[in-house]
Chain A
Amino acid sequence: MLINVPETVVADALRGLAAAHPELTVDVENRVIVRRDAPVAGKVALVSGGGSGHEPLHGGFVGPGMLSAACPGEVFTSPVPDQMARAAAAVDSGAGVLFVVKNYTGDVLNFDMAAELAEDEGIQVAKVLVDDDVAVTDSLYTAGRRGTGATLFVEKIAGAAADEGQPLERVAAVARQVNENSRSFGVALTACTTPAKGSPTFDLPPGELELGIGIHGEPGRERRPMMTSGEIADFAVHAILEDMSPRNPVLVLVNGMGATPLLELYGFNAEVQRVLAERGVAVARTLVGNYVTSLDMAGASVTLCQVDEELLRLWDAPVKTAGLRWGM
């Protein structure tokens, strides 16, 4: 691993992020990344956060048109309430703050506590829970569907709505709509290695793959002998379309888990597009790359988000962050 010691991995990365991006204010000690021009007068602020190890999510999505601040926790561990409360205070212009929370027990509990702290300070807080992972089929007897690739869609589209000056309840409604319109499915070809443990988090022999993985090195629902890119695309897209029947065109995110080359991701995207065409699903926009990663895991996820003209317009709006930028 390209690290000094496991204990300083997150702080080291934050110092590097600060050095590369002077347009961000990075508080390394308190672990808060804020766009330098915050608070932006009259506009709703978006605050997200979660465990580290998913970069560029969330810190790489801080900037005009997307997040106002991000709070990185330890690797795969949700941040603590103090971080989000501090971030909310730094970015609130008086128009309120939207917390974008991925649906994991730890994130939900810590953001809930942070919302209480921020509200005690007189900050208006709304929350959106992202839970797009169709691999979790039994929501009744689990912690519910996980938040994965749709987080990028929620943060980008709701960020655009906030940037236009839409009020908090409207920005929150847009965020929830994007989440409701989104579904994801992921596969792993290898497990990932957390710096603290130093060895793979689960045992996945070569020649096998894990279907329905999350983004925390947790094993998935099912293991199978290795499949081709085309077979994986069939499996992933069918799993998603079992759960949604898009009437509108979709945004497609073909997301690398961290250790899969772009060459393979583009090849996989070709197969995803083939399956979508076979199933009669129109594609509005496609994004291919490593956006919601799981350290050094090899594999990919597919996220589809149904968009109407308004959501597509917000998706196309300018964005300027370390991890995603166009139009400005």
Chain B
Amino acid sequence: MMLYVVLFFTFFSLFLYVLLGGADFGAGIVELFSSRNDRQLNRDTIYKVMGPVWEANHIWLIILIVILWIAFPVYFNIIIIYLHIPLTLVLLGITIRGVAFIFRHYDAVVGASQVWYNRMFRFSSLITPIFLGMCFGTLVSGKIVITEDYSETSFAEIFMFPWLNVFTILTGLFYASLCAFLASTLLIGETTGEIRKLYSKKSAIFTIVLVIMGGLLLAYGLWNKMVFVQDFLSNAYSLSAVSLSALILIPLWKAIKEQHSLLTRFYAGFQVLLVIFAAVNTHFPNLIITSTGDINMMDETAPDSVIRVLGISLIIGGGIILPGLFHLMKSFNMISIPKNITGEDD
């Protein structure tokens, strides 16, 4: 029973990280692909809109990692050994991005160094989600080589090629486009006037990019007979979920047009939920596909005593954190009906 609570929180954290962390990364990507003037507007907007919850968005990743290692140690063990290099790159991206964000807003002197903070922020906003997407792609690519014998296989065959190939790069680009789509769509609801037009335009562009990336990913996987993609396309639930998330684009655009920011967020969040569901559902619980077979995350979970304590901790922790987070968002007008950020500064 408690195992289900733990599983719920595992995917709940994954969902929130993909959604909130993703929107955060996306804001940097949007800024990267903007003109000089728009960049400044974007910089100020995301500081105002995301600043207060910015830290919290990224803690979901830590929660996810901690749950994985406590409850699914054998599964976690494979991830952490075989994704060592791409995860290091993710960490590097997170570090550069985190400090660049805080430096560009908290440096006492606003001077030439700002140029560097901004560059670091935008660049790491793009590469971090790409590497994150590559990590997920690697897990389901069927290319991980698990071996104890390091004399037979080369370093590159075990630790490089599985994560560095066309399929994983496409997965990475897909996730980065999803982030950019999310950020630009969510930011429309937060703004008025000139900058609002910018985000509407970006949102349209990134929707197209996202659909193209998704199509490329599936086409490539199908062409190369990848197990995960074949299973994905033959799984009725996953297919319906993806189709539904595409259909939601229609009411989403309607909500944006009517400036209904709460509905906009709801639809965008629901889309992400559907995409994650589609991806996870295809192969759950065999969420690692290696060159020789599947690895079931539900095999060799931690003993009941551990799961019980973890489940209780998560329920209590969630009970404290979620209302706090909700209150935080509410206090700074992140949850409001209808939207009322007009651009006044303090």
A-B interaction: no
**Interface set of A (CB-CB < 8 Å, partner B):** none
